[in-house]
Amino acid sequence: MKTLHKRCAGLDVHKKEVVACLRLAIRGKATHEVRRFPTTTLGLLELADWLEQAGCTHVAMEATGIYWKPVWHILEGRFQQILANAAHIKGVPGRKSDMNDAAWTADLLAHGLIRASFVPPQPIQELRDLTLGQEALTREIVQHTQRIRWYREAQTAEARWADGTRRSASALMRLESALPG
């Protein structure tokens, strides 16, 4: 199979670490070097420097949850990036561990077998995040408002019931005293 990208990397991004596989095609033979980096800013900058020093041109990573975003932003502008649908990558058999996931992603990228997902420009991403955050806060406010109304109605109904019970008891006592016997 033809190699499209001779110096590329596959990343397997997790919450606390990134497993990176640098794939280099030298004289028709592919070599893989795998390293792990923490997802701290310093760790991601070390990842970017390592890839840059190796002459990496393309980087692919899976879009799982939100963990890919900081990695994407640190690497942005330094490499041609591809955000891949995780189901698309996982649909191809042959992987067994996280190390193999990164290597498998690098191999797929090298041969042009990854369909890129759309990643909007930074200003649109920020606007989208703000909008989603505002929607979540609005839902939360509505939930609390409904809960307060429910408690108020429950207390009012309980007060009516208690008031009605007192009235019924006093009416019953009057009736009993009026009856002969």
Q: What is the per-residue pLDDT for 58?
A: 96
Buried b (16+ CB within 10 A) or exposed e, 71-101: bbebbeeebebbbbebeebeeeeebeeeebb
Q: What is the per-residue pLDDT for 169?
A: 62
Q: What is the per-residue pLDDT for 121?
A: 80
Give the residue among 62, 49, 76 at the shortest CA–CA distance from 13.
62
Q: What are the mean pLDDT values of the chain's consecutive 10-residue runs (181 residues total)?
A: 88 94 90 95 97 96 88 94 85 62 90 82 81 87 87 72 61 66 57
Q: What is the per-residue pLDDT for 161?
A: 63
C-beta neighbour count of 36 within 10 angstroms = 16
Long-range contacts of 93-100 (CB under 8 A, 24+ apart): 98/12, 98/14, 98/19, 99/19, 99/21, 99/34
Rounded to two decimals, the pTM is: 0.68
- Third-level CATH fold of 7-119: Nucleotidyltransferase; domain 5 (3.30.420)
In what order do the strands lie in the sheet containing 17-26? Answer: 29-38, 17-26, 7-13, 58-63, 80-85
Task: Compute the distance between CA of residue 71 and CA of residue 142 in angstroms, rounded to an integer.
Answer: 35
Evaluate whether 46 touches 97 at the Cβ level (below 8 Å).
no
Residue 100's alpha-carbon distances to 75, 95, 152, in angstroms, are 22, 6, 58
Task: Compute the distance between CA of residue 90 and CA of residue 44 in angstroms, rounded to an integer.
Answer: 24
